[in-house]
Chains A and B, each alone.
Chain A
């Protein structure tokens, strides 16, 4: 059973913010939201994670709605190197379920 729903693809202009949505309407109270990305068969790269509060790090910001049923990953200034498949995952233990993700293409 898919725990998250993401759009299959999206385009973004270089230098602009990229906002990646994720729906996780069945999330449990103790499940975290994780974001990873995978660039062309490289290892998945951890981006950010959160439980209830919004989070920000050097790569991105994570906005989680108050009811926790959806979240948005924000890449503040997309570059061509941000072109990748982005995965939104919810989990409360070691099990990570990588679905199809969102293929993000950053265009010059």
Chain B
């Protein structure tokens, strides 16, 4: 979905480095989400934000932090990257109304050596 933009698209880095993945959206949605996907597995929720001042941990938040800089921007940080954080990372957004679907970005492929 071109309305949800993730940067970078690919990143290779070393163990122990701090990494920031960025997500911006032009959909005007209040809610934003970060997921990771490992090979052959489904998506798992890392963090979610229902508005700028409402940030919540998902099912696998350990080792990650987030920042909601504005309604349109939601960043995911790995403070000290480790190899098992190698994965595909997806950002998603949704409107706040009940039942509204989530719309995903194209993902960031992160490799940690």
Contacts and interface: CB of A to CB of B under 8 A. Distances in A.
B104 A43 contact: yes
A95 B45 contact: yes
B42 A34 contact: no
Interface string A38-77: 0001111110010100000000000000000000000000
A43 B31 contact: no
A interface secondary structure, majority: loop
A43 B105 contact: yes
Contacts of B106: 42-43
A84 B48 CA distance: 26
Determine which residue in A95, A96, A97, A98 has the highest number of CB atoms from chain B within 10 A of its CB, and name it.
Answer: A96
B interface secondary structure, majority: strand
Nearest to A98: B42
Given A44-B43, A95-B45, A32 B99 contact: yes
Interface in A15-33: 32
B101 interface: yes
Interface string A72-99: 0000000000000000000010111111
21 contacts: A32-B99, A34-B101, A41-B88, A42-B106, A43-B1, A43-B90, A43-B92, A43-B105, A44-B104, A45-B1, A45-B104, A46-B103, A49-B101, A94-B33, A94-B50, A94-B102, A96-B43, A98-B42, A98-B43, A99-B42, A100-B42
